[in-house]
Structure 1
Amino acid sequence: METKRQWFFRGIRNGIPIALGYFAVSFALGIAAKRAGLNALQATLCSALCNASAGEYAGFTVISAQGSYIELLLITLIVNARYLLMSASLSQKVSPDCSLRHRLALAFCITDEIFGASVTVPERLNPFYSYGLAVISLGAWSLGTCLGVVTGSILPTALVEALGAGLYGMFLAIIIPPARENRLLGGLVLLSMALSFLFSRLPLTRELSEGTRIILLTLLLSLGAALLFPIKENEQHAA
């Protein structure tokens, strides 16, 4: 049985690819922060306290437009609301004996990629695995944001966009292995991609923000999968 230390360093080791992707992408976030009038320290604190690129971009946009605190609060809440669903899902992966403080810490550390890496652990999730993922990847995220403010503005736009594309490739690398082993999961992934494309084109849903569309799709697909393909209690414990 692995110790907490072993779980932690296992998370650090597996989080290195995430960290590399975050470090590259956060340069663009640092540029956005600089354009919004934030200095390196302020931008770094934003990345350290808000572990969500879409939420930070939205927040920097509101700051650039000199919006109110209420606007900043609402847009951040809407864009980041999907992490509430991820937190609820991940709470089922840890042991029932896991304390509240660890559950809250896990919820704070969640990003799309950390969630993806944590939920694919075959056995029960030890919180220290996610902590290891978070230390290496979120540290790189904050550092990249800081350097983006300081030096990112001198990089060619095409280079920044190319670095940003690497994060999506990394996320595909996380979800493809379990999708290949589970046909149902693979089908849901493909269905989610198709519906996401349709929602971005249909008259009613294309007017919604990207974060709102993600929430809506997550609820619809999760509810549909739970009703049509429920996981029995013994299967859940075996996973």
Structure 2
Amino acid sequence: MKSRFLRGMSHGIPICLGYLSVSFGFGILAVKAGLSVFQASLISVTNLTSAGQKAGLDVMAAGGALIEMVLLQLTVNIRYSLMALSLSQKLDKSFTTPHRFLASYGITDEIFAVCSAQKEPITPAYMYGMIFIAGLGWVVGTALGAAAGELLPASVSTAMEIVLYGMFIAIVIPPAKKQHGVLFAAVIAVALSIMFKFAVPALSEGFAMIIAAVVSALMAALIFPIKEEEEAAA
């Protein structure tokens, strides 16, 4: 068990290093929104998802309602449920229901990708090792970014904020080059967000993001459906 845990940690080190830099930007954004270093770090501990954290931070900064936060997190993070279903086909027999609940906390895009690439069944110890080191990188990066946001000049902090947005762009561009549906959904979501911002200013940011995400995804699914042979190849 110990060797599998350490193997998971070793596979999670690259994820940890990437999370350190990206979460640094989130920490700065959190402090700028009025949160303390502890509060920013607590968000990263309890909600291990960059998109969900950024969206939630926008809702908090705007004084949004609790139901708005719940619906937004459900919309933004529902993809992790699909990832969990996919990974369930690769789990070792020792992965009992309690282990599944615990491991679900740490399923992120990067951890899902690494686990999916494994040829042998995934054990709880292996996944816990990866989640531990990756999560540690995300929380430490957030704390460092938040602390730096309190000390660095405003001009430097503002420049560092681009790290988080750079990660989102890096996630979207590769699949957008290969699949027209992804590019279409991204463009529609951006267009709707801009429209809501200027044409419907009374609509809160949280609900604007929910509507933009759902509408763009539905339109992409209808106009660019994935054929069965493409699903099998994936």
> Which TM class, normalised by the smaller chain length?
0.7 to 0.9
Q: For residues 23 and 34 of structure 1, what CA distance do their matches in structure 2 show?
A: 17
- Residue in structure 1 matched with residue 100 of structure 2 by the alignment: 103
- Distance, in Å, in 1 between the alignment partners of 2:220 and 2:129 is 27
Gaps of 5+ in 2: 194-207
- AA partner of residue 201 (structure 1): V
What SS class does the counterpart of residue 34 from structure 1 fall into?
helix
**What corresponds to 1:137 in structure 2?**
134
TM (normalized to structure 2)? 0.75
Matches within 5 A, 1:199-218: 199-202=185-188, 209=209, 212=214
**How far did 1:66 drift?**
0.6
What residue number does 2:23 align with? Answer: 26
The 5 Å alignment of 1:1-239 reads 4-152=1-149, 154=152, 155-161=156-162, 165=166, 191-192=178-179, 194-202=180-188, 209=209, 212=214, 224=226, 227-228=228-229
Q: What is the alpha-carbon distance in structure 1 between the residues aligned to residue 159 and residue 139 of structure 2?
A: 22
Tell me how far 1:134 sits from its aligned partner.
0.9
Q: Indicate the RMSD between aligned Cα atoms, in angstroms.
A: 3.3
Match of 2:198 in 1: none
Query: C-alpha deviations, 1:164-208, integer Å up to 9, x for none?
Result: 647977x79xxx9xxxxxxxxxxx89644x321122235899568
| Alpha-carbon distance change, 215 to 12 in structure 1, aligned in 2, over 3 angstroms | farther
**Number of equivalenced pairs:** 209
Distance 2:11 2:189 in 1: 41
Normalising to structure 1: TM-score of the pair? 0.73
Identity of aligned residues (%): 34
